[in-house]
A and B are shown apart, each in its own frame.
Chain A
Amino acid sequence: ETGVTQTPRHLVMGMTNKKSLKCEQHLGHNAMYWYKQSAKKPLELMFVYNFKEQTENNSVPSRFSPECPNSSHLFLHLHTLQPEDSALYLCASSQASQRGPYNEQFFGPGTRLTVL
């Protein structure tokens, strides 16, 4: 595997289900990100992990719970979602340095989530 991978690619869940999205990066990066892409809205940054520590939570509802067990893996745990949470969820990674986050982010293919 190369680059950033995401599983599953498609997910349909009911509002009472609990599911998890997985992201893995094979680039040796130390920062990972979750984004939400909804129709007709700009890409929204949800969470940032830098060296496994969460450094950003962009006012995301608690029904989304991220987990970063190591610098290569990132999860997004989902529970009691709403239909408006249906979207493409994209994971990205980058190489952050002491100077700051001045490097490009590499994206995975995304998970298309549908909440019924």
Chain B
Amino acid sequence: AQSVTQPDIHITVSEGASLELRCNYSYGATPYLFWYVQSPGQGLQLLLKYFSGDTLVQGIKGFEAEFKRSQSSFNLRKPSVHWSDAAEYFCAVLGSNYKLTFGKGTLLTVNP
């Protein structure tokens, strides 16, 4: 069965600083990977996805993620964080039977 680990429960960064959120996955076949963001009281919004091809994928809001098969990782990055990026971020892997397995999420706080 697939699984996703987000090792950081809570991260605090200053506005303008760079950001990296970690994600490790476990899946037997080629993974289909996603990053979603959730603002308080809202549903999940897709930031980016990896299906195949270029291992560095670009998403919305200036986010990017890099797939590293050797490390079973799909870390999310942003070069300069904005206060509006404060939210909870979820990494997910899509397996068989339409099952999207999520990590527990990383809460991002942005200090002015």
| Chain B proximity mask over A16-48: 1 for CB below 8 Å, otherwise 0 | 000000000000000101000000111101001
Tally of B interface residues using CB under 8 Å: 23
| Chain A proximity mask over B81-112: 1 for CB below 8 Å, otherwise 0 | 00000000010001011111111110000000
Please tell me if the beta carbons of B43 and A90 are within 8 angstroms of each other in the complex.
yes
Contact of A109 among B42, B98, B101 (CB under 8 A): B42
| Chain B proximity mask over A72-116: 1 for CB below 8 Å, otherwise 0 | 000000000000000000101010100011101111111010000
Known contacts A42-B103, A56-B99; A107 and B44 CB within 8 A of each other: yes
How far does the Cβ of A71 sit from chain B's closest Cβ, in whole Å? 14
Chain B CB within 8 A of A4 CB: yes
Please tell me if the beta carbons of B98 and A43 are within 8 angstroms of each other in the complex.
no
Please tell me if the beta carbons of B32 and A102 are within 8 angstroms of each other in the complex.
yes
A101 vs B49: C-alpha distance in the bound complex, in angstroms? 14
Chain A interface residue count: which class?
Answer: 20 to 34
Please tell me if the beta carbons of A96 and B43 are within 8 angstroms of each other in the complex.
no
How far does the Cβ of A11 sit from chain B's closest Cβ, in whole Å? 14
A33 vs B44: C-alpha distance in the bound complex, in angstroms? 13
Chain A CB within 8 A of B56 CB: no
Chain A CB within 8 A of B17 CB: no
**Chain A residues with CB below 8 A from B101, complex form:** 42, 45
A-B contact pairs, 5 of them (CB 8 A): A6-B43, A42-B103, A90-B43, A109-B41, A109-B43
Binding site for B on A (CB under 8 A): 4, 6, 31, 33, 40-43, 45, 48, 50, 55-56, 90, 92, 94, 96, 100-102, 104-110, 112
Across chains A and B, which 7 residue pairs bring their CB atoms closest together, nearest first? A101-B98, A107-B43, A107-B44, A43-B102, A109-B43, A42-B104, A48-B98
